[in-house]
Structure 1
Amino acid sequence: MAEDVRAEMVSTVYQVVVSAGDEVKEGDTLVILESMKMEIPVIAEEPGTVTSVDVKVGDVIQQGDLIAVIS
């Protein structure tokens, strides 16, 4: 089953750590967001393969926007 990883707040993509095809474990960092001068890691909540990364560095994302998909 695929897991959609979505933004929890309005933020800017500071760093993309994974790429499509990467294997991740629960707790691995996928991307790092920046909001109000704080760096916020977005972590995998389940193990799997990253099937897509839907953001790039510098993107401004809104709450609920798709960041990545893990299957």
Structure 2
Amino acid sequence: MADVRASMAGNVWKINVKPGDVVDEGQDVVILESMKMEIPIVAEDNGTVKEVKVAEGDFVNEGDIIAVIE
């Protein structure tokens, strides 16, 4: 299992995956918005999304778990 973590603090602008989706390494999982910039958060491994731990509009801090991939 691999946790997808926020690389910086920001608002969850868009969620691109849902549980059960198959993702490839480097694929955008979530887009954060911070200081009017869009920051893609990508999967670091291939796998299947087990859980998405955030909702659009949520605020996350750097290091927060956004999704779990197995």
TM-score (norm 1): 0.94
Return the alpha-carbon distance in structure 2 between the equivalents of residues 27 and 63 of structure 1.
Answer: 19
SS at match of 1:64: coil
Amino acid at match of 2:51: S
Alpha-carbon displacement from aligned partner over 1:5-53 (angstroms, at most 9, x marks no partner): 1112110000000001100011111010000100001111110000000
* 1:38-57 equivalence runs, <5 A: 38-57=37-56
Q: Name structure 2 gaps, 5 residues minimum.
A: none
The count of aligned residue pairs is 70
Return the alpha-carbon distance in structure 2 between the equivalents of residues 26 and 8 of structure 1.
Answer: 16
* 1:1-71 equivalence runs, <5 A: 2-71=1-70
Return the alpha-carbon distance in structure 1 between the equivalents of residues 25 and 5 of structure 2.
Answer: 16
Q: Name structure 1 gaps, 5 residues minimum.
A: none
TM-score (norm 2): 0.95
Return the alpha-carbon distance in structure 1 between the equivalents of residues 43 and 8 of structure 2.
Answer: 17
